[in-house]
Amino acid sequence: MISLLYRLYERRLAREVRQGGPGPEHIALILDGNRRHGERHGVRDPHAIYALGAGKLDEVLDWCAALSVPAVTLWVLSTDNFGRPIEQVSGILAAIGTKLAALAVDPQIHCRRVRIRAIGQLELLPESTLNCIRAAQEATAAYDGMVLTVAVAYGGRAEIVDAVRALLTTQRRSGATLDEAIEGIDADAISSHLYMAGMPDPDLIIRTSGEVRLSGFLLWQSAYSEFYFSDVYWPAFRKIDFLRAIRAYQQRRRRFGA
């Protein structure tokens, strides 16, 4: 009976979303609640915990593809996460590497022409993880369908700092004086040096687990994003939770600061 009611509710939500007007062109997700989900279900091994979370990605990509969402960004590892116990960090990195290696050869990824890219302070990652990232990026580099961006070893403040540094370095190499370099710093110049340069800002940012904060995710790009905070943990994120987020986005009037 419960599964029947769930399916009926899912169909109703899907219908409302189809009739609800334009949806987001770029969805960003903060994948939170893996450990708490594991604890609730008696899963203690960090590798098993984060493997559950990685497995959810396939469903979310299916849901986004069904709505023709052209850009999806996932925050899978923050720079702050490196301060966690080594077994947790190892579990996260193992899940990231395994998932990216699988995506590189996934028929659905190639059928949908999904281009995979990674952003963040990638130099902090072990070579084994970097190899998986390179394999996924190289296998999908020519695709022009959905863009799947994986934020790994990512921090929003670090992104802005790195962008300013890159901008000033470019100015110095061009022979600009200090005054000229300072004069050349504006929002467009900084934007062009961000990890996400060339990508549209996210229309909708979804965070799972019930935490109501961004924790530094896409600080620059989220200035006019709509936020949706779901109470469910990431591995338990359902299609109805996703559709609720899309419906909530459609019901809002975006002002872009006006």
The domain ranges of the chain are 2-251
> What pLDDT score was predicted for residue 258?
63
User: pLDDT for 184-239, tens place per residue?
Assistant: 999 999 999 999 999 999 999 999 999 999 999 999 999 999 999 999 999 999 99
Q: Are 114 and 70 in contact (CB under 8 A)?
A: no
Residue 170: pLDDT above 70?
yes
Percent of the chain with pLDDT over 70: 99
> What pLDDT score was predicted for residue 5?
85
Per-residue pLDDT, averaged over 132-151, amounts to 98
**Any catalytic annotation for residue 32?**
yes
Going by pLDDT thresholds of 50, 70 and 90, the confidence category of residue 1 is low
Question: What is the number of alpha carbons within 13 Å of residue 224 lying toward its C-beta?
Answer: 10
Q: What separation in angstroms does the CA of 64 have from each of 43, 95, 146?
A: 29, 21, 9
153 compared with 2, residue with greater pLDDT: 153
Per-residue pLDDT, averaged over 104-109, amounts to 97
Question: What mean pLDDT is reported for the chain?
Answer: 95
Residue 256: pLDDT above 90?
no
Task: Write out the H or E segment, with its range, that includes residue 116.
Answer: strand 115-119
Per-residue pLDDT, averaged over 153-167, amounts to 97
> What pLDDT score was predicted for residue 3?
80
How many residues are given for the chain?
258
Per-residue pLDDT, averaged over 35-55, amounts to 93
Going by pLDDT thresholds of 50, 70 and 90, the confidence category of residue 169 is very high
CATH 3.20.20.140 fits domain 2-251? no
Q: Give the integer Cα–Cα distance in Å for 220 and 74.
A: 16
Going by pLDDT thresholds of 50, 70 and 90, the confidence category of residue 255 is confident
Q: What separation in angstroms does the CA of 56 have from each of 48, 49, 69, 99, 171?
A: 13, 12, 17, 10, 43
> What pLDDT score was predicted for residue 6?
82
From the candidates 32, 106, 201, 203, give the one annotated as an active-site residue: 32
Per-residue pLDDT, averaged over 88-98, amounts to 96
> What pLDDT score was predicted for residue 254?
81
**Any catalytic annotation for residue 106?**
no
- pTM, to two decimals: 0.94
From the candidates 81, 131, 162, 241, give the one annotated as an active-site residue: 81
In which residue are the tokens 């961006």 written?
149
Burial class (CB in 10 A: 0-12, 13-18, 19+), 31: buried
